[in-house]
């Protein structure tokens, strides 16, 4: 399952990098900016099935069932993330399966290297 989350994160990073790029040099700068992008789940934050996108110190919570933002803000990246969700959300069935499997009240990270 974590490989799917890693692919999910990488897909968003690549999309944001492409959206923000206007030349080859800015592409590298933008990829570095999104290197700290994380996607995870935390039932303590919200009991509704959700996933959280964090970029730096900004984060937003999105509904798994609809892909709509529940709370938070990602600043100027929010429009691009909305476009990414509109394109890819129908392929994210694994999110609801993961939520059901991990309803324990501890954060579920999307990458193995973040697991405790």
Report pLDDT digits (tens) over 52-90: 999 988 999 999 888 899 999 998 889 999 999 888 877
Of 34-43, 76-85, 91-100, 107-116, the range with the highest mean pLDDT is 76-85
**CA nearest 73: which of 50, 51, 57, 89?**
57
**CA nearest 9: which of 53, 57, 49, 50?**
53
In degrees and rounded to multiples of 5, residue 52 shows phi and psi of -115, 135
- The pTM for the full model equals 0.76
């Amino acid at each position: 399952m974590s490989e799917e989350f890693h692919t999910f994160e990488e897909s968003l990073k690549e999309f944001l990098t492409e959206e923000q790029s206007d030349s080859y040099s800015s592409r590298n700068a933008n990829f570095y900016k999104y290197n700290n992008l994380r996607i995870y789940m935390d039932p303590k934050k919200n009991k509704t099935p959700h996933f959280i996108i964090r970029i730096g110190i900004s984060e937003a919570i999105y509904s798994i069932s609809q892909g709509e933002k529940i709370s938070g803000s990602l600043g100027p990246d929010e429009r691009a993330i909305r476009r990414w969700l509109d394109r890819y959300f129908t392929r994210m069935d694994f999110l609801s399966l993961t939520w059901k499997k991990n309803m324990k009240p501890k954060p579920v990270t999307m990458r193995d290297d973040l697991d405790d």
